[in-house]
Structure 1
């Protein structure tokens, strides 16, 4: 299992760094970004990731590069897969032991 610390989901940064800081509603932020409220809510609640399209919108709205939003999403995605990778490696090791 990896010792890697849990990276922040881009939605956490968006909520804490912009929506809460600017004291605006998710509905208002979604409107500014050209997204549905539901889609933005899913990103903020870590139920959806940041796509290339959304990263461009976030970059323009926040001034943070779209690449950084995508890098954050990639780090989150890889961290989410750590348990799957660990389980696959463990299973492969067990299968090798039984051969």
Structure 2
């Protein structure tokens, strides 16, 4: 567990729970609107891959956020194991 007691949250979970579900957007529709392979977004949602700069930019345009929002989510998730290890 980390210092604040929260579990690490992957950007794919935020994408699903805070954007796709409330807005009623399917992963297929989002992928098409971003001209991204659906498989890439499925991998992010399934926590099999992360959000890089290119995808962050496209998500920000489609979901009215910023690229930094997505990159910060990813970097925070990536840093959690080191923070946990250090205690």
Q: Normalized against structure 2, the TM-score is what? A: 0.83
Matched with 1:53 is 54
1:18 maps onto 2:45 in alignment: no
Q: CA–CA distance in 2 between the matches of 1:81 and 1:29?
A: 33
Alignment length (residue pairs): 85
Q: Normalized against structure 1, the TM-score is what? A: 0.74
Matched with 1:66 is 67
Check conservation: 1:6, 1:76, Cα contact below 8 A. Answer: no
1:6 maps onto 2:20 in alignment: no
Gaps of 5+ in 1: 90-99
Could you say what the CA RMSD is over the residues aligned between the two structures, in angstroms?
1.9
Q: What's the CA shift for 1:41?
A: 0.5
Gaps of 5+ in 2: none
State the 4+ residue runs in structure 1 displaced beyond 6 angstroms.
Answer: none
